[in-house]
Structure formats: structure tokens, C-alpha cells
Amino acid sequence: MPLPRFGRFTLPRPTLPAVALVVLSLLVGAAASDPLAVRRRAQPPSPGTVRSSGGTLPTAATVAAIDRLLAERRSVAGVEAAAVADNLTILRRLWLALAGTIPSLEEIRSFEADGAPGAVDRALATLLADRRSAEALARRLASPLVGDEKGEFIVFRRDRFTTWLADQIAANRPWDQTVREMVSARGLWTDTPAVNFITQAAANGVIDADKLAGRVSRVFLGARLDCAQCHDHPFAAWKQGEFEGLAASFAQAKLSPVGVEDDPARVHRIDRTSVAALATAMTGAGRNVPPRVPFGAEWLGSGGTHRENLAAWVIHTDNRRFDRAIANRMWSILFGKAWHEPVDDIPDPGPTSSPDDLLDLLADDFREHGRDLRRLIGVIAATEAFRFASTHPDLESAEGAARVKAAWGAFPLTRLTPEQMIGAMAATTSLQTIERDSHVLTRTIRFFRETDFLREYGQVVDSQGGSLPATIPQALVQMNGKLAREMVEANVVTATGRIAGMAHDDVARLEVAFLVALTRRPASEERELLLPLLTLAETKGRGLEDVMWTLFNCPEFSWNH
Amino acid sequence: MPTRLRIPVGPRYEGFASAPTGRRSVLLAAASLGLSFALPALPARAARRRGVERPRSLLVVWLAGGPSQLETFDPHPGAAAGGPTQDISTAVPGVRIAADYPRLAEVLDRFALVRSLVSKEGDHERGQYAVKTGYRPDPTAIHPALGAIAAHELPATGLELPRFIALGEAEFPSRGGYLGNELDPYRVFAPGQKGQNLEPHVQADRQARRLGALDSLTRSFETGRGEAVRRTFHEHTLREALTLMTSEQLAAFDLDGESEAVKGLYGDSDFGRGCLVARRLIEAGVRSVEITLPGFDTHARNFAGHTSQARLLDPALAALVGDLEDRDLLESTVVLVMGEFGRTPSINPLDGRDHWPHGFSCLLGGAGIAAGQVIGSTDPEGVAKQPTDPVEIPDLSATVLAALGIDFAREVATLVGRPMKLSAGTPLAKLLRGEA
């Protein structure tokens, strides 16, 4: 008899539609009689550091320096700046990056009700102060931090780790402190969640020091030092010995009944059966390797465990790689594309910080302001480049598109992650924002729907280097899948049904459908082309189903723009 | 075809200009050009060609969870490691397998039996990765499964079905890895039914209206973004999906045309139906099929568990091999039967066996394989950990690719420009026909 599976829930599926109906009915009830009406949400106080408009605010100098650098880059490439995107488009980008979904109709109405200058900045501040963004960011960061594998359930709890990380982000804990805890934590994976960073590397019952060294170098230093595990790095200065020395810092870590511990008696031994030795004959057999860092040995901590000493080195304020790595990572979360691809293998910093290096500008600002992730996000989101339209006259030709892309002359098109995709579909269905606190059952349903959806949709792995075209099975899921059908269907609980029943005419219905799915209103030609779907249909519900299906399946829905 | 979507042409295959080295764009272009959509209609003879003339295919029967070598292909009755499992003689003189496999025993001469596989990975997720790809898990790259490599490297002229199809529930699905997401298998969870998500939700007239509107919105999104939108391949992929939805080749998924006698031979189980569908897909020209039989992770009640698995596996696998042979398809199909690792020679207090990546077994048969032999042996007393004639996983992967006629040592550029060999191993000459 197989052992019970812990990694997968097996709640009875048939009850789900019933539960969904109840929950969604509650949602409808809560939505008052007119779901399309403007409702103001209480605005949490905006953290001053993330506001960007006006010359006197704290981030303005850094933002201006970045804008200047990018303007020069465009000028050298002979690329004009794209027009500024409209506010709703920017709102959609912010929601996708920071909440993993698109703004609901409720959010859009609330945003539009704030017609004053700086509305985007206020929306950003509200979003950053929201627990949802902490959770979405934690899920994005968990992928590079602990990988996408399931891992060994006995010692690795992804959910604990992600929740802990979300707590740190929600509390706006300085990033270096969070990282220090991950690298050096001791204890049980269940009650010291940071330790899952270490136990994720457990394979066949032991902690794989090589894997941890690789992860630390890629995520915290932006260097694929693990290429040097088997051979010297192909284009950077890393040597195999340097990788071994880094791995040796994790050799004391071991699994025990009380969790991860550091045993001072343990040493890092390279022998014939190690991964490195397996792949190459270059490594000598049976050597003990002491901890060693590839540069900046004076930054190492002293007196602690090897891991504590290493953590001090990683986050040392002179270790510019640390700040550049997270700057590049955040850029990639906001733009869908890293400043340097691949996101975890970026060029070495110059000898001193340079105003001509975008990552230096971001990294210096980050370091000088308490390694505040929210501020970093605020700076990136306030740049001109982030607010450019994704349209550009030069995009008509292949050659022009390459130039625009290289000079960041327009906002890049990148495909939504599966999580963003399902988040966007869910947001489109409910009219209101699905939140953590008030709708536990909705979240449960979303979990099952996500599980089903992801099973068929497959994973798109962030770390593989940017946006890949969709696959045929993905196109089929989007067109013909169960989730798509449930979401498009016009009934009393879906947005489709409610818009069909409540908006006063077809033009208004079409407008709301566009807002809900694409966060914009239809252009007049689009209105003309799509209105027949509503007028030709047997019922308003059928017609609106066709409209929603079309919106779900168009490239604008599944590509961030 | 009720659609006005345009067929993409030339320039869109130029790939992504962002590639620092250009390798990525070349790769993407190559991968995209290989997609069935871009190819002319099915030449009638391609799928009908038989014997060694036919392009080769790979059929992987994946025994998920780690099948016990001792209860399948490497029994040791009466010895310390053997447990209560009995053995029977087979079509290969002197070779005995577990008594639960009487029908397979009759066709064992169609396979080479390797009893000395050694892997470095004793965890399910890592173990299946190692065995399916021939590489150990590597945080900087996802390696393609053998099935994805076969689909990528072998010609599939005129095929409208996906080139790589996975049948049954796999906890860790095979991946296209650095060859691209389009080499991920098309997964069919309940074999015997048509694949999921192939039916539009609405009647033809509404579907036509929807597709027409979709065309309008795609054009409108292209305005001012032309090349950037074309490079998403969104429309291209959609068009391929629509082609698949209406393809006559989908009949390969449908078992209605099979007689009750044939279905009976394979067994009335999802796995049996899966094997029958697998045969039909191979017949239709699909280059790579993987079928998963889960349930081998017998940490408790190992023997009863393996007996019930054998009731599913024995008839289906024997029928599959016989059927492929009768249809003259075995000569062009490499058949690999294995799981992520074996199970311990010792029996634990729950009457179970635990994970054992040393000295486990696989069957390899069909195209190019020197069948009717056994390689390696394990210690009947379970004392010696290493088997004789150990076969490393990378060498097995190289052997499978070589049997498919694939240049296993070819270097392919990954998406980030790092070159990788399709296999890091060396084929075992004695497993390949004409090489020994």
C-alpha cells in the first residue's frame, strides 16, 4: 500500500460547485444592489517614501537620475520615448506586479473617483500597504529563493516559508535582515519558517551545501557561481575553488530531530561521489575544503557559525552585488523583464558606483534607505520607463522593435505568469477584489481552481529567462477549459451575468466588460466591431458570454503591456 | 475552419531580438518551424509506412513511485532479499521474472532486461528527473525529458496531433525544459476519452462570431505594437490549437473503433486503455508517448501492492508489445519500461520496501535494441549494494537516444545561451543492435 500523500489535498470535489455558489452568493449580497456603482474604499495612509511626484520628495533624485540615464540610452540608440501610458494601464501593471492579479471593477471605480493629480502614486501606496501585495511578492520571491520543486515534505514546508516571507514584507522589514535570517536560521521547518531556505536543499536526507551555495550566489549576489561547481565560469572570473569554499560555509548545517543545527565538527569534503566530482575528473579525491568567499573576505562575520559569518558577508554594505541583485529582481517583477537577463547572472559591478549604471543607481538608493523593498518598488514604479505606453511607432518593423526593446523605449510585452493569469481571470469574474481576510472560502475555491488550472496549464518558470510563447495546451485551456467556461458563463453570480442584467444598454455592457477584463474602455472601432456580438445573440447573457470569452482569449489579456 | 485568424508567415520566426547571443532566437525559430501548423497537409503514406522505413518513435511506460526490482524483473526467491515473491521462466532461456508477470514472460524476448541500473537520486522528484532526463536536477537549467528530446529531434511531417503526448496522472510531469515549453507533453489525464479542452463551449455559429471578434481585438492590440505582438506568437499558437480541435487525427484518442477482444487483451483499466491509446498514437505518427502507471511506492505492504500493480501492468504491456509487433510498428518504436528507482533488498517492519537507487531494473525493447539479453545482476542476499555491470543513468539515456537514431551528444543552446548536450552519457554498445 502506498504511503499517504501529504503533498496533495483530496477534498471531495463534487461539493465544490455548491460551496462556490454559496460563497459567491454571499459576495453578491455584500456587493449591494448595483455592482457597477462607485464605492470609495477607505484609503490607508500612504507611506511618504514611495510617493514620487513633486521635486522635494525623497525618491525624486534617484528617479530623475534613472530617467536621465534612460534618456541618454534612447538618444544614443536614436529611439524616441514612447507616449505616456494612460493611468488605467499603469494601474493594471501595478496590480499584476504587486498583487498577482488585475484590478477589479471595484478598484477601477475607486481609482477613477480619485481624479486628483498623483492618483497613480496613491494607488501604489495603497497597494503596497495591502497584505495582498506582500503575499504576491512573497510568492514571486519564493520561486528563486526555494525553487519550484516540491522538495522533501518531511523537512520542507513551502507554505510556511512563503507566509513568513509575506510577514516580513508586510512589516517592511529591511531586506538584509530577512536574508540574514534565511541564511543563518536554526530550528524546525515548522516553527522557524526561515529555515526552509536551508531545508529546501535537503536531498536524500542530507543538506546539499552545493545547492545552497548556488542559490545564495544566484539570488543574493546575482552571479551564477554554481557554474563554477563543475568548471570555471565561462565568462566571469569565478573559479571552481571559490564555489567549493562558498559551499563549505554550509557544511556545518545538518538535519536533526530539533531541526537544522550547525555542528562545528563537520567539514566540507569533496570526494569522488560529490556532484562536482561526478561531472568532471578535474577534482582531486578526498579533500577537506574550508569556508572561503570569492571576494571581500574582510566582510565575513566572526565568532558565529559559518552560516552566520557568511550571512554577514552577503549583506555587508560594501557588498554591492547584494543590492544590485535585488534591484534587478524587482525591476523584473515590475516590468516582467529584468534589466539584465538572466535575472540571476548580472555583470560584475564596476570598481565604484556609477551614475551610468542603472543597477548602481537603484542599489545605492536601496542601501542608503535601509534596504527598504517598498521604497525600491516605489522608485522603479515612478520611473518614466515604467509609465511608458507599450505602443511605439518603431514597433512596426523587426529592426525598430529590436532598437526600442534594447533602449527600453516602450513598456515591454511580457506574458502573464500562470498565477497572474488565474488571478486575472478570478478578478474578472467577481467584480470585487478577492481578499485574504474576508473571503476565506473564496480563497479555498480559488486554491482548487488554481490547482486544476495549473495542472492543465503547466508551470511557466520565471528563472528560465523571460517570457515564452504560450503552448497549445495552454491555448486550449484558455479557450475551452472548465474554469474559462465557469467564468464566462452568464448567471447570477458571475460578472457576465450581473453586467448583462444590470447595465442599462449594450454600449454600457460592452464598456463594463472591457473595464473588467482589460482595465480600459473600448475604442470606438472596437465598439462597432463587437456590438454585434450583443445585438445578434439570442439573449443578452449569451452575447455577453461571447464578449467575455473574446476578451479572455485576446493577447491583450494574457500579455502584460 | 470557422476562423478569420491569419496564418503567420516568415518574419515572425525571427524570434526574440533580446537574445544576447542570438542562440535563443535561432532555437525558437527552429522549434517553431517544427510545429505541425507550419507544415503541409499530411502525406497519406507517412503514417502508413511500416518497419524500419518508418520514422522512429519513443514509448515510455513510466512506473511511478519506484517499482521493486525484486517483485518485477529481478526476483530472488528463497534468498535473503527475495521475500515471498516467486518466479517463472520466460521466453528468454534461463531468465526468470516475478511470477505475477506470466504474459510478459511470454514476450520477454522482445526486450533487453537491465538489472543493474544505478542512480544517484533516492527521492521521487529528483529520481524521476534524473531518470527521465539523464541529468541530475540542476538549479540553473531544466533538462528536457527523453520524450521531449525525441519529439524535438524526430521528424513529424503532417502530424496535427502534439508530437509529445503523456497519458495518465503523473505527479511530476515530463518537461520540455530548455528545448521550450512547446515540448512539454500534451497531457491526457483519462486515456480512452478524447483529450481534455478540445471541444468549444458553444455551437459553430457562436464560435465563429467569437473568433471573428478575437481577430478584431488582436488587430487592435497590434496597432502601434505590430512586431512586439507578432513575437508573442499568440495568434500562431491559437491557430494551432484550433487546428488540433478539428483534426481528424484526434480519432487516435478514441477507442470506439477497437474490438472488445482487443480492449480485453489490454485490460479494463485506465492503464490498459492508456496503453491501447498509446499504440494508436504511435500508429498515427506521434513521435513520443509516455504512459504513467502510478502506485509503486510500497513502503508498506510491498508484496500485495506489487501484485495488484502486476494485474494492471502484465496484460497491458504484453498486449502493447504484441500489438506493436503485429502491426509492424515495433521495429520503429523504442519501448522503455521503468520507474525512478527500485526498492530495498531488506523488508521493513510494515512489510514494505523503501527507496533503492542501486541495482534496479528496466526493460528496453523495439527499434535498434538488441533484445533477448540480460545485463547485470544484483546480490540475492542483499548484502552487496553495487550490482555487477552497473549501468549509469546518463548511459541509459544515451542508449535510448542512439536507438532512436538521435545524435545524443549534440549540443543544444539553452534559452540563456548555455550549451548542453542532449545526453552526457555513452550508449551501451551491447544494448544496440549491430553495435555489440
Q: Please state, in angstroms and rounded to a whole number, the distance separating the CA atoms of residues B390 and B377.
A: 8
Mean pLDDT, residues A195-223: 90
CB contact under 8 A, A211 and B181: no
Number of H helices, E strands in chain A: 28, 8
Q: Does A26 touch chain B (CB under 8 A)?
A: no
Q: Which residue of A has its CA nearest to B298?
A: A2
Query: Which residues 74-103 on chain A approach chain B with CB closer than 8 angstroms?
Result: none
Dist. CA A488–CA A533, nearest whole Å: 14
Helices (H), B185-301: 204-222, 226-230, 234-245, 260-266, 270-284
User: How many CB pairs below 8 Å do chains A and B form together?
Assistant: 227
Provide the grid cell at A105: 471593477
Grid cell in block for residue A200: 529546501
* CA pair distance A267, A288, nearest whole angstrom: 7
Spatial separation of the C-alpha atoms in residues B82 and B65, rounded to whole Å? 20
Contact A555, B234 (CB under 8 A): yes
Tell me which of A345, A391, A397, A471 to substitute to probe the interface with B (most B C-beta atoms closer than 10 Å).
A471
Under DSSP, is residue B118 helix (H, G, I), strand (E, B) or coil? strand
In the structure, what pLDDT confidence band is assigned to residue B129 with cuts at 50, 70 and 90? very high
| Cβ-defined contact of B180 to A468 (cutoff 8 Å) | yes
Instruction: Give how far the C-alpha of residue B183 lies from the chain's centroid of Cα atoms, to the nearest Å.
Output: 12
| Cα–Cα distance, A80 to A94 (Å, whole number) | 24
Residue A47 in contact with partner chain B when CB distance is under 8 A: no
Q: What is the pLDDT of residues A368-423, one digit of tens each?
A: 999 999 999 999 999 999 999 999 999 999 999 999 999 999 999 998 988 888 88
In Å, how far are A236, B111, B186, B255, B262 from B273, measured between CA atoms? 53, 22, 17, 8, 10
Q: Tell me which residue in B125, B140, B213 faces A226 most closely, judged by beta carbons.
A: B140
Domain assignment of residue A436, given as a range: 13-36+414-560
What is the distance between the alpha carbons of residues B413 and B421, in angstroms, rounded to a whole number? 9
Most confident of A105-109, B23-27, B51-55: A105-109
Any domain includes A296: yes
Given pLDDT bands bounded at 50, 70 and 90, which one contains residue B263? very high
Q: Tell me if B235 sits within 8 A of B218, measured CB to CB.
A: yes
How many separate helices (H) and strands (E) can be counted in chain B?
A: 11, 15
Task: Please determine, for residue B32, whether its predicted confidence score (pLDDT) is greater than 70.
Answer: no
Provide the shortest C-alpha distance from residue A522 to chain B (in Å). Answer: 10
Q: How many domains does chain A have?
A: 2
Residue in B137, B221, B304 closest to A554 by CB: B221
- Measured in angstroms, the CA of A230 and the nearest CA of chain B are apart by 12
pLDDT of residue A453: 73
Beta bridge partners of A254: A261
C-beta atoms of A211 and B139 within 8 A: yes
Chain B neighbors of A471, CB-CB under 8 A: 181-182, 184, 237
Q: Does A53 touch chain B (CB under 8 A)?
A: no
Is A549–B137 a contact, with Cβ atoms under 8 angstroms apart?
no
Q: In Å, how far is B161's CA from the nearest CA of chain A? A: 10
Q: What are residue B31's phi and psi, to 5 degrees? A: -65, -40
Q: For B214-242, what is the mean pLDDT?
A: 91
pLDDT, residue B158, reads 86
User: Contact B225/A211, CB-based, under 8 Å?
Assistant: no
Pairwise CB contact (< 8 Å): B139 & A218? yes
A396, A554, A558, best to mutate vs chain B, most B CBs in 10 Å: A554
Distance from CA of A218 to the nearest CA of B (A): 9
Please choose, from the candidates A232, A280, A213, the residue with its C-alpha nearest in 3D space to the C-alpha of residue B424.
A280
Mark whether A24 and A156 lie in a shared domain: no
Distances in Å between the Cα of A104 and the Cα atoms of A34, A49, A126, B297 are 15, 26, 15, 45
**Is the Cβ pair B237, A469 closer than 8 Å?**
yes
**Distances, alpha carbon B429 to alpha carbons B113, B114, B132, B399, in Å:** 14, 13, 21, 8
Amino acid making up residue A286: G
| A450 in Cβ contact with A458 (< 8 Å) | no
Q: Is A401 on the interface with B (CB under 8 A)?
A: yes
- pLDDT of residue B415 exceeding 90, the answer is no
Please provide the average confidence, as pLDDT, over all residues in chain A.
82
Nearest CB neighbour to A555, from listed B201, B234, B297? B234
- Asked if B245 and A476 come within 8 Å (Cβ–Cβ), the reply is yes
The Cα of B64 is separated from the nearest Cα of chain A by a number of Å equal to 11
- Interchain pair A275, B136: CB under 8 A: yes
What percent of chain B lies above the pLDDT cut of 70? 88
- Which domain-ending residue is among A267, A301, A335? A301
Taking residue A335's Cβ as centre, other Cβ atoms within 10 Å add up to 21
In A, residues 374-393, which contact B (CB 8 Å cutoff)? 389-393
Question: What local confidence, expressed as pLDDT, does residue A537 receive?
Answer: 84
- pLDDT value of residue A149: 78
**In-domain check, residue A268:** yes
Residue B192: partners with Cβ closer than 8 Å, 6 or more residues away: B255, B270, B273, B274, B276, B277
Percent of chain B with pLDDT over 90: 69
ipTM: 0.83
Check: CB of residue A366 under 8 Å from CB of residue A325. no
More confident residue, B269 or A540: B269
* CA distance to partner chain B, nearest, from residue A527 (Å): 10
Neighboring chain A residues of B172 at a CB cutoff of 8 Å: 150
Q: Which of B226, B234, B299 lies at the smallest CB-CB distance from A396?
A: B226
Domain identity same for A153 and A296: yes
Contact B237 A226 (CB under 8 A): no
Which residue, of A301, A316, A337, is where some domain finishes? A301
Show which of A301, A328, A354 is a domain's final residue: A301
* Burial class for B277, CB neighbours closer than 10 Å (0-12, 13-18, 19+): buried
Cβ <8 Å between B295 and A542: no
Q: Which of A344, A394, A476 to mutate to test the interface with B (most CBs of B within 10 A)?
A: A476
**pLDDT category of residue A232 using cuts at 50, 70 and 90:** low
Residues of A in contact with B214 (CB under 8 A): 550, 553-554
Contacts of A148 in chain B (CB under 8 A): none
CB–CB of A393 and B224 under 8 A? yes
**B122 residue type, one letter:** G
The greatest distance separating any two alpha carbons of chain B, rounded to the nearest whole angstrom, comes to: 77
Name the β-bridge partners of A270: A287
pLDDT for res B146:
97
Is A205 or A463 the better-scoring residue by pLDDT? A205
Across B414-426, average pLDDT: 84
Does residue A4 belong to the interface with chain B, where contact is any CB pair within 8 Å? no
- Judged by CB atoms closer than 8 Å, whether chains meet at A395 and B213 is answered as no
Roughly how many angstroms between the first and final C-alpha of chain A, as a whole number?
51
Residues of A in contact with B221 (CB under 8 A): 554-556, 561
Quick check: is B295 in a domain?
A: yes
Write down the pLDDT at residue A419.
Answer: 82
Is A528 in the B-facing interface, judged by CB distances under 8 Å? Answer: no
Each residue's pLDDT tens digit, A312-340? 999 999 999 999 999 999 999 999 999 99
With contacts defined as CB-CB under 8 Å, which chain B residues touch A510? none
Per-residue pLDDT at B271 exceeds 60: yes
Cβ contacts of A214 on chain B, cutoff 8 Å:
139-140
Portion of chain A with pLDDT greater than 90, in percent: 54
Could you give the 3-state DSSP secondary structure of residue A340? coil
Q: What is the pLDDT of residue B410?
A: 94
Chain A environment of B232 (Cβ under 8 Å): 413, 415, 467, 469, 555, 559
CB-based contact A464 B300, cutoff 8 Å = no
Where residue B319 sits, what CATH number does that domain have? 3.40.720.10
Give the pLDDT of residue A369. Answer: 95
Phi and psi at A269, nearest 5°, equal: -115, 130
Q: Helical H runs in B73-166?
A: 102-106, 124-133, 146-153
Per-residue pLDDT tens over the stretch B335-372:
999 999 999 999 999 999 999 999 999 999 999 999 99
In chain A, residues with a C-beta closer than 8 Å to the C-beta of B182 are 469, 471-472
Identify the band that residue B47 occupies on the pLDDT scale cut at 50, 70 and 90: low
Residues in B touching A396 (Cβ below 8 Å): 226-227
| Mean pLDDT along residues A266-286 | 55
Question: Structurally, how many domains does chain B consist of?
Answer: 1
> Quick check: is B150 in a domain?
yes
Peptide bond into A45 cis (omega under 30): no
pLDDT at A4: 41
Q: Is A273's pLDDT higher than 70?
A: no
Q: Give the one of B18, B300, B304 whose C-beta lies nearest to A405's C-beta.
A: B18
Domain membership flag for residue B197: no
Residue B212 covered by a domain: no
pLDDT band for A67, please (50, 70, 90 cuts).
very high
pLDDT level of residue A283 (50, 70, 90 thresholds): very low
The residue among B383, B295, B304, B294 whose CA lies nearest residue B350 is B304
Task: Look at residue B17 in the predicted model and tell me its pLDDT.
Answer: 30
Q: Test B187 with A456 for CB contact under 8 angstroms.
A: yes
The amino acid present at A445, given as its one-letter code, is I
Whole domain around residue B412: which residue ranges?
58-192+255-431
* Judgement on whether residues A418 and A273 belong to the same structural domain of the protein: no
Q: What's the mean pLDDT in B410-436? A: 85
**CB within 8 Å: B125 and A150:** yes
Nearest to B142 among A3, A464, A472 (CB): A464
Which pLDDT band, with edges at 50, 70 and 90, does A365 fall under? Answer: very high
Residue A128 confidence class, pLDDT cut points 50, 70, 90: very high
- The radius of gyration of chain B from alpha carbons, rounded to an integer in Å, stands at 23
CA-based torsion, A34, A39, A42, A48: positive or negative? positive
Q: Is residue B25 part of a domain?
A: no
Determine the residue type at A96.
L
Burial class, A8, CB count within 10 angstroms (exposed 0-12 / middle 13-18 / buried 19+): exposed
